[in-house]
Structure 1
């Protein structure tokens, strides 16, 4: 791996760690709720939403060591960063505590009401 490739890899990981502010435990707990399963685009009638499936993968990625991340993992991390950034820019006015907007973001590992730092990466 060249220095440039390593730099791009490190940048993706840093952006992902910034975008995903829920720990794997918090995310897994959230994904087990009915509210989590009610939001997002479903690939098929009654199936799991894209965001919910992504959340399960995000929880796994948060537990991987940096050196074990594959190119496919990095591609998903870039997708997560893009989704979180776009969705944050669409924040609705008013109370968001119980808004589908917040719940969708949480499926992607970002709780906009969480005021502490990111979960740690090993």
Structure 2
């Protein structure tokens, strides 16, 4: 097996805090990008960081780049700073929830 640039702890932490499936995240980003008169191309929906999270979800560990690993670390840190280590489902404000969902974390989903 090839070496992976990501350690076991980060891999597990990322896939715990990113509790949306790639399909859910892709649909969310497309919904957020849809305007009243135009729609964004599916592969261009969301900001660069959101698209990177989506791409990471589609990759095998061995295919991750050092840049992917940095995004994984930052997403884990940001979600944990907002939610703690074992968050209970919480709606919060729409803006707060939408920002977290753009990172792949739905605060209304129960922890695994």
- Same-fold call, TM > 0.5? yes
TM-score after normalising by structure 1: 0.65
Runs of 4+, deviation exceeding 2 Å: 95-98
Aligned to 2:98: 103
The match for 2:18 is: 20
Q: Which of 79, 83, 87 is matched with 2:82 structurally?
A: 87
Structure 2 counterpart of 1:61: 56
1:113 corresponds to 2:108: yes
Q: Could you list the runs of 5+ residues in structure 2 that have no partner in the other structure?
A: 35-45, 85-89
Q: Tell me if structure 2 keeps the 8 A contact 1:9–1:74.
A: no
Question: Deviations for 1:17-40, whole angstroms, at most 9, x for unmatched residues?
Answer: 111000111001000123x68xxx
Taking the aligned partners of 1:52 and 1:84, their CA distance within structure 2 comes to 17
**What RMSD in Å do the two structures reach over aligned CA positions?**
2.7
Partner of 1:71: 66
